Amino acid sequence: MTTPTLSRPHDRTAPAAPGVTARRLRRPSWRDPRLLVGLLLVLLSVVGVAGLLRAVDTTEPVFVARRALTPGQAVTGDDLAVAHVRIVGAGRPYLSASRPLAGLVVVRPVPAGELVPASALGGADRVDLRPITVPVEPAAAGALPRGSVVDVWVASRSADRADSYERPRLVASGVQVGDRSQARAGWGGAASAGSLGSTGSTVQLLLTPALVPELIQAVDNSARITLVPAPAALPRRSGT
């Protein structure tokens, strides 16, 4: 019969087996290569994300017309606002907000609220439109703000009766209104043209040089001039 033997509990104070060395935990140091590699990876990721955001964000500050800009007008900072737009392609179709405005005038119309094309401003020698003032009915002038686009209809006086007019004819399409004002009776026959009464309104039209003589003749002959607003969605060049 075998007698069971009881095992003695492990003596924790017993010396370690030969050849086994216990390692002590050490506090990490800035000289630890693993820490330096980790910091380098974080730095590279931050730089990469920043570069990616710069590449995606291609917006540039450009000018926006606060109000309608008319040819021949010298622009100032009060006429323009700044907007940031995304530029597609290598071209720069709009006027950069960093461009100086000194010496620049409007060479082609820009409606209020639209981005200003780079080609819309230039030297005064590039303006090919002429301002001509014509008499109109006061009610009609009140509905034509600066920068609006109109068709110009002229009805010559009848040769048979002084108080009647011929059938109106279209003289110009897509003409821009430069300005408007009030004129007293007797201004170049304006009060008699269209029976404006004691006071009448005048509207400044921006015309191509080829149309100037015809409008001057219509005003001098006391013809009835009617300005019909054109749809803003259908811009047309003056004189076409």
Distance from C-alpha of 110 to C-alpha of 120, rounded to nearest angstrom: 7
- Domain co-membership, 212 together with 160: yes
Predicted confidence at residue 155, as pLDDT, reads: 92
Is residue 69 within 8 Å of residue 75, measured between CB atoms?
yes
* Amino acid (one-letter) located at 27: R
Condensed to tens digits (0 to 9), the pLDDT of residues 117-131 reads: 888 888 888 888 888
Give the model's confidence band at 171: pLDDT under 50 very low, under 70 low, under 90 confident, else very high: very high
43 and 109 in a single domain? The answer is yes
pTM: 0.55
Residue 225 reports pLDDT greater than 70 = yes
Q: How far apart are CA 125 and CA 89, in angstroms?
A: 30
Element of type H or E holding 48? helix 33-56
Domain stops at, among 127, 144, 163: 127
Q: How many domains does the chain have?
A: 2
Backbone angles phi, psi at 50, to 5 degrees: -65, -40
The pair of structure tokens assigned to 4 is 């069971």
pLDDT at 214: 92
- Residues 146 and 98 both lie in one domain: no
121 shares its domain with 135: no
**Same structural domain, 132 and 225:** yes
- CATH number of the domain encompassing residue 77: 3.90.1210.10
pLDDT tens digit string along 172-184?
888 888 877 755 4
Tokens 């737009």 locate to 85
- Burial level of 13, CB count in 10 A (0-12/13-18/19+)? exposed
Question: Do residues 121 and 178 both lie within one domain?
Answer: no
In a domain, 235, yes or no: no
φ, ψ of residue 108 to 5 degrees: the values are -150, 150
Q: Which residues pair with 182 in a beta bridge?
A: 201
Q: Which one, of 229, 223, 134, lies nearest residue 174 by Cα?
A: 229
E strand intervals along the chain = 59-65, 80-86, 105-106, 121-122, 130-136, 149-155, 169-184, 199-207, 224-229
Q: Which of 190, 177, 188, 193 is nearest to 143 (CA)?
A: 177
Domain with 115 in it: 32-127
Per-residue model confidence (pLDDT) at position 158: 86
Domain final residue pick, 111, 127, 143: 127
Q: Which of 61, 92, 127 is the last residue of a domain?
A: 127
Q: What average pLDDT score do residues 163-168 get?
A: 87
